């Protein structure tokens, strides 16, 4: 698709420092313009009115021909609203930031590492995708978009999850270390754009997506007039894993007995000694991936007991993951049993804690996951 020629609009070329009074106070660019002389001298382009591109794209990488005499501006400030087929920016190094004081209305909004500020409503017919840890999306007004994808990008995720002035079907929020089940990725991106199995290194099993998609392929599709997003876009937070049906009718005591019998110290040791686990989980940071679950192992050391961990992606928007830690502990009388622990999220501030026996739902999920792990290992032989 063609990008709109901004020369048809009346533009004012200035500097960031000269337009500080026009910049929204929430914008990080406002702080830079006031507090850093180098940024205050950065070039800015102002459009005093609406930017209506019709069916064309607004490509922030192609505002001007690339040459050293006329580099891209640091900021495009639109003192009205923007309407376009797509608004895109793919420059990780020195791209143009966008501040729109009015509404932004488009099919797609894709930005790499730049700030995007919308003072009015953000209305997208397909998707917003923000990529890169330096990027930031801020929207004062309501947000409407089938898919909102924060790929390392900063965004008010609490507002989106609470649906506070936000209408959307799918929301993916991840950083560079997050594991993303392939089925989740395909909820928002057409399958042909999801990473192929051979993109994984030798230490991973190709049934999950870590570097889940090549962003430039998606960007090229959008700017080429194609739609790379799923049809229809659906909610990727639906559970992929269904607990074993035979466990739902168990009483608390029956479930505890089954858990003790099936998740015995001997069975946990056997899992940890499996060749695939030994080869793939050399340290606690190495994982086996199985659809919406990943498995890791901490070997016993001194007084630290061995631990088998199963992390499962779940639909709870506040937790995102459910942790099952199986620890083989020796009692004072010499017997060994497995204790089930969990934690609210990863990190030292959320240390694992024992799961109370009355948390039947957690024991059902943990036992179902353990059964699936044993099946997974048996299938790999």
Of 170, 193, 223, the one marking the end of a domain is 223
What phi and psi values does residue 133 have, to the nearest 5 degrees? Answer: -75, -20
* 177 and 88 inside one domain: yes
Asked whether residue 234 is assigned to any structural domain, the reply reads no
pLDDT tens string for the chain (381 positions)?
Answer: 678 877 778 888 899 989 988 988 888 888 877 777 888 888 899 999 999 999 999 998 877 655 566 678 889 999 999 999 999 987 766 678 999 999 999 999 999 888 999 999 999 999 999 888 778 899 999 999 999 988 878 888 778 877 788 888 888 776 554 556 677 788 889 988 887 544 444 444 433 444 567 788 899 999 999 999 999 998 776 555 667 778 887 888 899 899 999 999 999 999 999 998 888 887 777 777 776 678 889 888 888 888 999 887 665 444 556 789 999 887 777 778 899 999 876 655 678 899 988 888 889 889 999 998 998 898 876
Please state whether the predicted TM-score (pTM) of the whole model is above 0.85: no
Domain boundary among 223, 255, 289: 223
In a domain, 233, yes or no: no
Domain-located, residue 239:
no
Say if residues 15 and 44 touch (Cβ distance below 8 Å). Answer: yes
- Per the structure block, which two tokens stand in for 336? 């060994």
Instruction: Assess if residue 232 is contained within a domain.
Output: no
Tokens 């507002």 appear where? 159
Domain limits at 341? 245-380
Angle made by CA atoms 236, 189, 183, in degrees to the nearest 5: 45
Same domain flag for 162 and 260: no
Query: Cα–Cα distance between 210 and 182 in angstroms, integer?
Result: 9
Burial annotation 71-83 (CB, 10 A radius, 16+ → b, else e): ebbbbbbbbbbbb
**Both 151 and 67 in a single domain?**
yes
Which helix (H) or strand (E) segment is 33 a member of? Answer: helix 28-35
Do residues 219 and 295 share a domain?
Answer: no
Asked whether 151 and 171 are in contact (CB, 8 A), the reply is no
Verify that 218 and 330 share a domain, yes or no: no
Please tell me whether residues 288 and 147 are part of one structural domain: no
- Domains in the chain, number: 2
Whether 11 and 159 share a structural domain:
yes
Structural domain contains residue 154: yes
Residues 381, 379: Cα–Cα separation, whole Å: 6
- At CB < 8 A and 24+ separation, what contacts does 263-268 make? 263/326, 263/338, 263/340, 263/366, 263/367, 263/370, 264/337, 264/338, 265/328, 265/336, 265/337, 265/338, 267/370, 267/374, 268/306, 268/308, 268/326, 268/328, 268/338
């Amino acid at each position: 698709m063609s990008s709109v020629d901004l020369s048809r609009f009346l533009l004012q070329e200035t500097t960031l420092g000269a337009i500080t009074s026009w910049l929204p106070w929430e914008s990080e660019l406002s702080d830079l313009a006031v507090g850093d002389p180098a940024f205050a001298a950065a070039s800015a382009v102002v459009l005093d009115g609406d930017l209506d591109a019709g069916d064309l794209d607004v490509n922030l990488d192609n505002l001007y021909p690339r040459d050293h005499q006329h580099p891209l501006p640091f900021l495009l400030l639109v003192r009205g609203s923007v309407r376009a087929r797509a608004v895109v920016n793919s420059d990780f190094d020195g791209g143009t930031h966008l501040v729109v004081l009015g509404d932004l209305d488009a099919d797609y909004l894709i930005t790499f590492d730049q700030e995007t500020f919308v003072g009015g409503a953000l209305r997208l017919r397909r998707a917003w995708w923000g990529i890169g840890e330096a990027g930031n999306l801020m929207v004062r007004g309501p947000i409407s978009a089938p898919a909102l994808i924060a790929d390392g990008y900063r965004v008010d995720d609490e507002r989106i999850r609470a649906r506070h002035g936000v209408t959307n079907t799918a929301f993916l929020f991840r950083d560079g270390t997050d594991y993303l089940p392939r089925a989740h990725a395909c909820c928002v991106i057409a399958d042909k754009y999801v990473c192929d199995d051979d993109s994984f290194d030798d230490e991973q099993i190709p049934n999950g997506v870590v570097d889940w998609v090549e962003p430039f392929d998606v960007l090229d599709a959008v700017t080429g007039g194609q739609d790379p997003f799923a049809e229809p876009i659906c909610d990727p937070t639906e559970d992929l894993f269904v607990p074993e049906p035979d466990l739902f009718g168990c009483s608390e005591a029956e479930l505890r007995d089954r858990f003790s019998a099936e998740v015995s110290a001997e069975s946990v040791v056997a899992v940890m000694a499996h060749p695939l686990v030994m080869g793939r989980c050399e340290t606690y940071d190495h994982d086996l991936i199985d659809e919406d679950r990943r498995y890791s192992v901490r070997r016993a050391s001194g007084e630290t007991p061995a631990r088998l961990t199963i992390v499962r992606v779940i639909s709870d928007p506040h937790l995102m993951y459910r942790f099952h830690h199986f620890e083989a502990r020796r009692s004072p009388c010499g017997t060994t049993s497995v204790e089930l622990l969990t934690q609210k999220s990863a990190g030292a501030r959320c240390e694992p804690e024992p799961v109370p026996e009355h948390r039947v739902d957690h024991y059902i999920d943990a036992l179902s996951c353990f059964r699936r792990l044993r099946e997974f290992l048996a299938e790999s032989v």
